[in-house]
Amino acid sequence: MAFYSAILSKIMRKLLKITIFILTSVVYSSCQREKLDVNVDDIKISTTIKRFEKDLFEGPTTDELEKFELLKKNYGDFLNVFAFKILNIPEQSDSVTASNLSKFVSDHEVSDIYRLTDSVYKSTDEIDLGMESFFRHHKYYFPEKPIPSVVTYISAFNYAVITTDSVIGIGLDMFLGSNIAYYPRLGIPRYLFEKFRKEYIVPSAIKAWFQSDYDVSEVKNELLSQMVYQGKLLYYMNAMAPEMDDTLRTGYTEQQLKWCESNEASIWSFFIENKMLFNTDPSQYSKFVNEGPATNGFPKEAPGKIGTWVGGQIVKAYMNKNSDATLKDLLKEKDAQKILEISGYKPQK
């Protein structure tokens, strides 16, 4: 009888532990939602996406130099970024640059890409709404910062999103849908072009704008700092688009997210037991924070860049512990170890 009582007691303790963990998770998620549930209804933002690719391919004139001058008038510095940075045209006189742009437009395959892009994006209304919501939240958190303009373009699959001080440029040909034959033909891995879809435009734009303000090259060369940087990015994305699904924010599928949640303690134990957190060798730690079809060393069900997801959990725990901390406070804090220690992050087994 004593034997069965001991077993029953053990089971009850385990059930109690599970119950506590579930309740903690619910409270944890609730705190996160409440902190980022802000009212932006009174913030007025007018977002109009300018279609550079349409003006480039279908402008009101066929004269090379005249078209160039019109583009310069309507798009300012973005024209230089497109010509010299995206297309890598050598910087020469306007007439030579205009001629090179004309060659780009008249290229048979580029023209085909443009026609395909134009058929997919006859309207950008859906993108307009998503970017408007992003900018409203951005103005809420950073009222002193100017709102960038949004310009679309095609670059023959060179760049998905580019940023300048005042522009977010969206390469629509990188968001044509995962069934487009061009992507595998170019040798782009499936795990990447599976996300070359319209719904990933806004999350990609938010990510690019964050990275333009907070350059990853300035982050300390160690896994923990890189993880926390990526965690800040995920938190920022959540603040900028709280209605966005976690699959779009993380780039994971529902199944991959569920796997992470179910195995959070084991993932964390892996980093601790293998003394990875303060590893400064990118050849050893980059697989945990860089894109990939999976994370080497973990089961096949585990998604890539799994350290990024853990970084997000650490940052969420840190912000929930600091009820008065703002998004600005989080982004100003550069000490990843301090963030980890204050967060008290230690997932339950």
102-122 pLDDT, tens digit per residue, is 999 999 999 999 999 999 999
**pLDDT score, position 8:** 39
Instruction: Enumerate long-range contacts of 166-172, CB under 8 Å, 24 or more apart.
Output: 166/77, 167/77, 167/78, 167/81, 168/131, 168/205, 168/208, 168/209, 169/52, 169/78, 169/81, 169/82, 169/86, 170/49, 170/127, 170/201, 170/204, 170/205, 172/53, 172/117, 172/120, 172/121
Average pLDDT over residues 2-18: 41
User: Model confidence at 10, in pLDDT bands (50, 70, 90)?
Assistant: very low
Q: Are 148 and 76 in contact (CB under 8 A)?
A: no
Q: Which residue has the tokens 């997210």?
A: 257
Task: List the domain boundaries for the chain.
Answer: 49-213, 216-343
pLDDT digits (tens, 9 = 90+) for 296-328: 889 989 999 999 999 999 999 999 999 889 999
**Residue tagged 């993932």 (tokens):** 267
Helix 264-273 crosses helix 254-262 at what angle (to 10 degrees)?
Answer: 60
Question: What is the pLDDT of the chain when averaged over all its residues?
Answer: 90
The mean per-residue pLDDT over the stretch 267-290 comes to 96
Residue 348: per-residue pLDDT: 76
Lowest-pLDDT choice from 67-71, 232-236, 337-341, 345-349? 345-349
Are 178 and 205 in contact, with CB atoms under 8 Å apart?
no
Predicted pLDDT at 174? 97
Q: Which residue has the higher pLDDT, 349 or 162?
A: 162
Q: Which two tokens stand for residue 219?
A: 């982050």
pLDDT higher than threshold 70 for residue 4: no
CA triplet 93, 170, 208: central angle to 5 degrees?
Answer: 105
List the beta strands (DSSP E) in the chain.
49-51, 149-153, 161-163, 167-171
Average pLDDT rounded to a whole number, residues 82-105: 95
Confidence class of residue 5 from pLDDT cuts 50, 70 and 90?
very low
Contacting residues for 31 by C-beta, under 8 A, at least 6 apart: 320
Best CA proximity match to 279, nearest among 271, 291, 268: 271
What local confidence, expressed as pLDDT, does residue 86 receive? 95
pLDDT at 12: 43
Q: From the CA atom positions of the chain, what is the Rg in Å?
A: 24
Determine the 3-state secondary structure of 338 from DSSP. helix
DSSP state of 16: H
11 pLDDT exceeds 60?
no
149 in helix, strand or coil? strand
Residues 6+ apart with CB under 8 A from 253: 247, 303
Average pLDDT for 273-291: 96
Using 50, 70 and 90 to split pLDDT, how confident is the model at 34?
low
pLDDT, position 32: 54
Mean pLDDT along residues 143-157:
95
Greater confidence (3 vs 174) lies with 174
**What percentage of the chain carries pLDDT values higher than 90?**
84
Average pLDDT value for residue range 239-267: 96
If you average pLDDT over residues 274-289, what whole number do you get?
96
Query: What number is the average pLDDT over the span 206-227?
Result: 95
pLDDT for res 25: 43
Residues 6+ away with beta carbon under 8 Å from 33: 242
Rounded to an integer, the average pLDDT of 72-88 is 95
